[in-house]
Amino acid sequence: MWDAESETGGGRDYSNGVLSISKHGLKTDGFEQRGQSWYVATDIPSDFLVQIGDVNFHLHKYPLLSRSGKLNRIIYESREDLNKIVLDDLPGGPEAFELAAKFCYGIAVDLTANNISGLRCAAEYLEMTEDLEEGNLIFKTEAFLSYVVLSSWRDSILVLKNSEKLSPWAENLQIVRRCSESIAWKACANPKGIRWQYTGRPPKVSSPSWNEMKDSSPSRNQQVPPDWWFEDVSILRIDHFVRVITAIKVKGMRHELIGAAIMHYAAKWLPGLITEGSAAADEGSNYSHANDINRSWKGGLHMIVAGTKEDIPTVQAKDQRMIIESLISLIPPQKDSVSCSFLLRLLRMANLLKVAAALVTELEKRVGMQFEQATLADLLIPSYNKSETLYDVDLVQRLLEHFLVQEQTESSSPSRQSFAEAPQRGTNPNAKMRVARLVDSYLTEVSRDRNLSLTKFQVLAEALPDSARTCDDGLYRAVDSYLKAHPTLSEHERKRLCRVMDCQKLSIDACMHAAQNERLPLRVVVQVLFSEQVKISNAIASSSLKEAGESHYQPMVSTRKTLLEGTPQSFQEGWATAKKDINTLKFELETVKAKYLELQNDFETLQRQFDKMAKPKQTFAWTSGWKKLGKLTKMSNLENHDDGPQISNPEQPKKAPRRWRNSVS
């Protein structure tokens, strides 16, 4: 299977990949090189010079014109005798032209996986078709590709790798497409049918024999690891890797293996993505069985990319950006195709290298699908924009929103989940709780940043529903850490910060710490102590009821002394301190009330004095009036007396005159 050593097709012999020609236009013993020039070993002097780059070929016109339509047309279309031609754009360069020239002279050419792609493109460029001569170079190289290369795993990899320098010729001649499909077909085939002599050797040796490789190959009875093809495929350029993985997807390979292959490729071509030792862990999280097999066998399974750390490619920022964009588009849509840790590291590099915004958003949604698998170290992504904060808190906020949207979508429409994902989601009912613990740890870490605003902290802390946290100890640690890093917060801001946690969800240890925490507002401390006292009361009551039930229910009367006996000493001390503070506040309030009453009495006294001062003025006015009236009355009586005696009516009794009395007041 996939044997490249001896393949025959259509009655033509390609044994050992050697092409020979029975018709010789010119007898020669071969070519010889002198510096940067090649000469034909013959007695006939050369009459035609072909220059390719810095290399000169001193040849003869007749052998070349008889097989190359392009050279034939150029020479005969020239108006003068042309003795020199420059072919700098020839695909494959001087190496490919050397083989084509030898073929024209009838010299045997050794075809290998390393030179066939360049020679095939050079033959197409030189137009060495069957119209000029039967069995020309295009026909022979095409036959070698179809019958030898495409039937071999190793040769298909090498030809595709060597085609990277032959664009667009290799693409137009379908070399890339055919090799990609051949690799995909073999990667998806049953590994039990693989002949191991085609894996496990570096590409420097062409078509190694079985005797050379059987020592490093596993036994026939040993199971083949499912990731046996990862290393070979990872040497390809990103565009060719995308072609291979796309063809593998079409053939129906499991998405876990495709994701593991993508992570393996990223670990090789993006050195800053994965730290040493973490790549194996990521792949193991997706397909642990493959790593178990690899650990059990240390032979030469991966032949193409087997190398040292010196062979690690140096990729520029522009190329890294292209690789990241291609990998984002290539990741299978299924959940858990790649690990969440890998996605977050890829997102970190995407932000650093300014990847397209649409792809970054797509990557953020992928992280949100499996956000519960993230770790704190992966979430601590630096802020690469002009933000003042050290870490990108807005990014984590978006990831959390994508996670909540995904959870809401899955809970509202469970029919969208496939049968393969249903058991996996069923075994993961506490995803929100794990995310809540992760967010609390993240808040504790980023709260040390003095540039982190209270609003961002509060929005991220309140993003999850209350049901996601059964205990707020982690949130309390984050709040306390924020208060330490921001000592200048006002009383209102501290109260606003403490609203993000529920005092009733704090553990006993957290309550004891909060009772002695001078950074917390006093009202929060009182709430903590009250909630803890209620917990202790409920615990004692439930315990007593349980004992009473066992003893036919003996009623228990809880007294203050009983509650205090069941309270820890440290908690009692904290409660005593808080109670003392409360009494102090009550005393101050009573003092303020007493001062208020005193001020009110003083005001009433002043009011009475004012009224007393205003009353004599009014009495004097009335007295003066009465005195004037009295004087007027006396004067009228005197006038009546001077007019003479008046005749009185005897029938009417005399009425005594009224005496007016002056007031002495």
Each domain of the chain, given as residue ranges in start order, spans 27-151, 430-542
Residue 507's nearest CA partner among 539, 473, 541 is 473
Q: For residue 390, what are its two tokens?
A: 């050290």
Residue 13 has pLDDT above 80, yes or no: no
Contact 153, 201 (CB under 8 A): no
Q: At what angle do helices 491-498 and 454-461 cross, to 10 degrees?
A: 20
d(CA 504, CA 356): 46
User: Any idea which residue has 């790649």 for tokens?
Assistant: 338
Pick the CATH number of 27-151 from 3.60.9.10, 3.30.710.10, 3.90.226.10, 3.40.50.2300: 3.30.710.10
Q: For residue 266, what are its two tokens?
A: 């990223």
Say whether 57 sits in a helix, a strand or coil.
strand
Q: What is the DSSP letter of 80?
A: S
Contacts for 312-317: CB closer than 8 Å, 24+ residues apart: 312/268, 312/271, 313/268, 313/269, 315/269, 315/270, 315/271, 317/353
β-pairing, 31-34 vs 37-40, is: antiparallel
Contact 135, 22 (CB under 8 A): no
Positive or negative: CA dihedral 551, 553, 555, 556? positive
Q: Tens digits of per-residue pLDDT, 317-348?
A: 888 999 999 999 999 999 889 999 999 999 99
Tell me phi and psi for residue 554, to 5 degrees. -100, 120
Lowest mean pLDDT among 23-37, 154-168, 349-363, 440-454: 23-37
Q: Tens digits of per-residue pLDDT, 527-554?
A: 878 877 777 777 777 776 766 555 544 4
Kindly state the average pLDDT of the residues 389-394.
Answer: 90
Lowest mean pLDDT among 242-246, 399-403, 636-640: 636-640
Contact 47, 83 (CB under 8 A): yes
Residue 511 has pLDDT above 90, yes or no: no
Q: Tens digits of per-residue pLDDT, 606-658?
A: 888 888 887 665 555 555 555 655 665 555 554 555 444 444 444 444 445 55
Positive or negative: CA dihedral 447, 451, 452, 454? positive
- Rounded percentage of the chain residues whose pLDDT exceeds 90: 37
Sequence-distant (≥ 6) Cβ neighbours of residue 107 within 8 angstroms? 28, 30, 31
| More confident call, 517 vs 481 | 481
Q: What is the DSSP letter of 25?
A: S
How far does the chain reach from its first CA to its final CA, in angstroms? Answer: 142
d(CA 401, CA 217): 50
Kindly state the average pLDDT of the residues 450-467.
Answer: 91
DSSP 515-548: HT-TTS-HHHHHHHHHHHHHHHHHHHHHHHHHHH
Contact 429, 467 (CB under 8 A): no
Residue 413 has pLDDT above 80, yes or no: no
Lowest mean pLDDT among 190-194, 363-367, 447-451: 190-194
Say whether 551 sits in a helix, a strand or coil.
coil
Contact 558, 541 (CB under 8 A): yes
Say whether 182 sits in a helix, a strand or coil.
helix
User: Any idea which residue has 């529920």 for tokens?
Assistant: 502
Say whether 277 sits in a helix, a strand or coil.
coil
d(CA 360, CA 399): 11
- Tell me what pLDDT residue 646 has: 45
d(CA 258, CA 181): 15
User: Any idea which residue has 């030792």 for tokens?
Assistant: 277
- Tell me what pLDDT residue 633 has: 59
Residue 122 has pLDDT above 60, yes or no: yes
Residue 303's nearest CA partner among 412, 154, 144, 429 is 154
Q: For residue 488, what are its two tokens?
A: 């200048």
Residue 238's nearest CA partner among 313, 178, 300 is 313
Kindly state the average pLDDT of the residues 221-226.
Answer: 73
Say whether 225 sits in a helix, a strand or coil.
coil
Burial of 138 from C-beta contacts in 10 A (0-12 / 13-18 / 19+): buried
β-pairing, 37-40 vs 55-59, is: parallel
| More confident call, 140 vs 502 | 140
CA 231 to chain centre: 26
Q: Which helix (H) or strand (E) holds 39?
A: strand 37-40
| Residue 37, amino acid | S
Mean pLDDT of the chain: 76
Q: Categorize the per-residue pLDDT at 237 as very low, low, confident or very high, splitting at 50, 70 and 90.
A: very high
Longest Cα–Cα distance in the chain: 196
DSSP 447-510: TT-TT--HHHHHHHHTSS-GGG-S--HHHHHHHHHHHHH-TT--HHHHHHHHTTS-GGG--HHH
Q: What is the DSSP letter of 310?
A: G
CA distances from 532 to 444, 528, 546 (A): 24, 6, 21
Q: Categorize the per-residue pLDDT at 277 as very low, low, confident or very high, splitting at 50, 70 and 90.
A: very low
Q: Which helix (H) or strand (E) holds 13?
A: strand 12-13
Burial of 454 from C-beta contacts in 10 A (0-12 / 13-18 / 19+): middle
In this structure, how many other beta carbons lie within 10 angstroms of the beta carbon of residue 566? 12
Contact 554, 494 (CB under 8 A): no
Sequence-distant (≥ 6) Cβ neighbours of residue 322 within 8 angstroms? 238
- Tell me what pLDDT residue 446 has: 93
d(CA 390, CA 451): 8
CA 311 to chain centre: 29
Lowest mean pLDDT among 84-98, 112-126, 293-307: 293-307
| More confident call, 378 vs 316 | 378
- Tell me what pLDDT residue 541 has: 74
| Residue 467, amino acid | S
d(CA 219, CA 2): 18
d(CA 112, CA 4): 10
| More confident call, 412 vs 135 | 135
Residue 227's nearest CA partner among 278, 284, 151 is 284
Instruction: Verify cis geometry, omega within 30 degrees of 0, for the bond prior to 568.
Output: no
Lowest mean pLDDT among 111-125, 583-597, 645-659: 645-659
Q: For residue 537, what are its two tokens?
A: 């009361």
- Tell me what pLDDT residue 389 has: 85
